[in-house]
Amino acid sequence: MTTPRRVAVGDLVFDVAIGGPADGAPVLLLHGFPHNSASFDGVLGPLHDAGLRTITVDQRGYSPGARPADVDAYLLDNLVGDAIGILDALGIDRCLLVGHDWGGIVGWQLAARHPERFTGYVAVSTGHPGALAGALSAGDDQREKSSYIKMFIADGAEEKLLARNAVLLRRTCPKEAAAQMQEPGALTGGLNWYRANFTGDIAAKIPSGRVAIPTTMVWSDGDTALGREQAEGSGAFVDGDYRFVELTGVDHWVPENAPEQLAAAIIERAGA
């Protein structure tokens, strides 16, 4: 069971939910595109049963009170600042960090820039930005998998994705996420993460700092958006204890479709 809260960071107000034992070790979970924090609903119960306290956040563009119009408002520096600001507002000095998809990209930045705030990191699907950049430049596999980004950053992407009752979204992501993205302003907020941080040739404008904290990389072999090379290559950018967990027969939507397996990897990293 979780308790919803609204947390202000500067001029923005974020929808946050906190659950689990009051004295449990805290875990911050960051979602990706296009699903909000509800993507972790199936993961939370096992974490609570293991004695962990969870913090889930509808991030910038997903919380109705945190949808700035300016595309540059979604630059990674601001996304990273949101997470730190939320932890500060909740009085949490250190916690375990979990990030899936875009939440994984934010997570790698948090782990590299603010190691003093995190006991460890569990990246889900999204490899280290350095490994992702290497995979994009090394061959056609990851570039083909990432080709959808060109449509996402183009003018008129909202109309294409929402046409015919959002058929493109409903074909590729959990139905709950497709429904959420049809709310006014929600899809633009999510797409602005891409527009602010990628160029037209899909070359990432994302820094690639090394990570010193203990890290687990969880990747699924059915992922059609993020390939094996960027996942397996992530260990080269981690100086702390590193573990690679491969899930077989699971698609990109790991939190929704393999919640117990993901929870097990988080619990192992937490040492709970």
Give residue-wise pLDDT tens across range 100-115: 999 999 999 999 999 9
238 burial type by CB count under 10 A (0-12 exposed, 13-18 middle, 19+ buried): buried
Identity of the amino acid at 202: I
Give residue-wise pLDDT tens across range 111-154: 999 999 999 999 999 999 999 989 988 877 999 999 999 999 99
Mean pLDDT across the chain: 95
Q: Is the pLDDT of residue 25 over 80?
A: yes
Task: Give me the half-sphere count of Cα atoms (radius 13 Å) on the Cβ side of residue 178.
Answer: 15
272 burial type by CB count under 10 A (0-12 exposed, 13-18 middle, 19+ buried): middle
Q: Can you give the residue ranges of every domain in the chain?
A: 2-270
Per-residue pLDDT at 227? 96
Interatomic CA distance for residues 211 and 238, integer angstroms: 5
Mean pLDDT of 158-178: 91
Give residue-wise pLDDT tens across range 42-87: 999 999 999 999 999 999 999 999 999 999 999 999 999 999 999 9
Per-residue pLDDT at 208? 81
Per-residue pLDDT at 249? 98
Residue with tokens 């409903």: 170
Give residue-wise pLDDT tens across range 199-249: 766 655 677 899 999 999 999 999 999 999 999 999 999 999 999 999 999
Interatomic CA distance for residues 195 and 201, integer angstroms: 12
Question: Among residues 271, 117, 133, which one has the least CA distance to residue 201?
Answer: 133
Give residue-wise pLDDT tens across range 239-252: 999 999 999 999 99
Per-residue pLDDT at 200? 67
Give residue-wise pLDDT tens across range 6-24: 999 999 999 999 999 999 9
Per-residue pLDDT at 203? 55
CATH superfamily to which 2-270 belongs = Alpha/Beta hydrolase fold, catalytic domain (3.40.50.1820)
Per-residue pLDDT at 173? 87
